[in-house]
Structure formats: structure tokens, C-alpha cells
């Protein structure tokens, strides 16, 4: 990756302050728990941050923050569920780029490739391409 997702998350959370209104304090407390712990405690804080993001679907910077911390979660606990979550969040974020910071769009696009790669979807795509090349064209 061309950027550090953990540093991007810290910066982006600060940018998201105005988007969260009354939920800002909760977000910063959860982020502090997520960043300073591991295991179940960090996972619970991460899940609560995602739930908070679901309550603020138009908080674009906070959505980007959640994608960045999902990458951190992948590196902490490398399981398919986190890759799927990251892919879903990134695809939703990129589906409507209007009004979003180009820097975050580029970072999220890069992370989407990483989430897809972690699930082996890029490899699968190559297999499909090879299959199509080997499949006879035309009639009988």
C-alpha cells in the first residue's frame, strides 16, 4: 500500500468530528479502546464503531475511517469476515464519490484491491479470464 492505514485512520477521525455531532465523544472513546487494546476488547470496540457508522451513513470521513480501521482489524485478526466487511464498506463508499475527499477515495480504492486480494478474488478473476480464453467460440 502507498499509505499507512493506521495513520490515515487517526487523521480521518479528527476530520470526522463535525460529521458525528453528539456521537463524537462516543466515537473517540471507542477509537481509544480499539487502538490501545487487542483481542476481544479491540474487536468489540471495532464492532461498535461500525454500528456508529451505520447510524451516520452520510458521514463520509467517518465512513473512510471505518474502512481504514477494518484494514487494521484484518492485520490483527486475519479472517475472511473482516476482508468481506472491508470489501463491502469500500464498495459502498466508492459507489457514490460525490462530495468525498479525493485522497480518501484513492486510499479506499487501494484498500478495496487489498480486501479483494485477501479473499483471492483477484486470482479467481485471472482464472475466469483464462477459462474464457480457452473456451471455444462459435457454434457446435
Sign of the CA dihedral running 99, 68, 90, 30 = negative
pLDDT at 135: 44
Indicate the pLDDT class of residue 2, thresholds 50, 70 and 90.
Answer: confident
Tell me the per-residue pLDDT of 40-76, one tens digit each, with 9 for 90 and over. 999 999 999 999 999 999 999 999 999 999 999 999 8
- Res 77: pLDDT: 87
Asked if residue 116 lies in contact with residue 87, where contact means CB atoms within 8 angstroms, the answer is: yes
Q: Residue 133 — pLDDT band, cuts 50, 70, 90?
A: low
User: Widest CA span of the chain, in angstroms?
Assistant: 67
The answer to whether 68 and 5 are in contact (CB under 8 A) is yes
Give the pLDDT confidence of 5-23 residue by residue, as tens digits: 999 999 999 999 999 999 9
pTM: 0.85
CA separation for the pair 121, 116 (Å, rounded): 5
Helices (H), 4-101: 5-15, 17-20, 24-36, 39-55, 60-76, 80-95
Phi/psi of residue 9, nearest 5 degrees: -60, -45
Q: What pLDDT is recorded for position 128?
A: 43
pLDDT in tens, 88-110: 999 999 999 898 999 999 999 99
Amino acid at each position: 500500500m502507498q499509505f499507512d492505514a493506521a495513520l490515515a485512520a487517526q487523521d480521518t477521525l479528527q476530520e470526522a468530528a463535525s460529521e458525528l455531532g453528539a456521537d463524537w465523544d462516543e466515537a473517540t472513546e471507542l477509537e481509544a479502546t480499539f487502538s490501545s487494546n487487542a483481542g476481544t476488547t479491540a474487536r468489540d470496540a471495532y464492532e461498535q464503531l461500525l454500528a456508529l457508522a451505520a447510524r451516520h451513513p452520510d458521514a463520509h470521513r467517518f465512513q473512510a475511517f471505518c474502512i481504514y480501521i477494518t484494514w487494521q482489524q484484518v492485520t490483527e485478526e486475519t479472517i475472511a469476515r473482516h476482508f468481506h466487511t472491508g470489501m463491502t464498506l469500500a464498495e459502498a463508499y466508492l459507489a457514490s464519490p460525490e462530495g468525498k475527499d479525493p485522497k480518501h477515495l484513492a486510499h479506499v480504492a487501494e484498500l478495496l484491491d487489498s480486501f479483494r486480494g485477501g479473499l483471492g478474488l483477484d486470482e479467481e478473476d485471472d482464472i475466469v479470464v483464462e477459462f474464457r480464453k480457452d473456451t471455444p467460440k462459435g457454434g457446435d
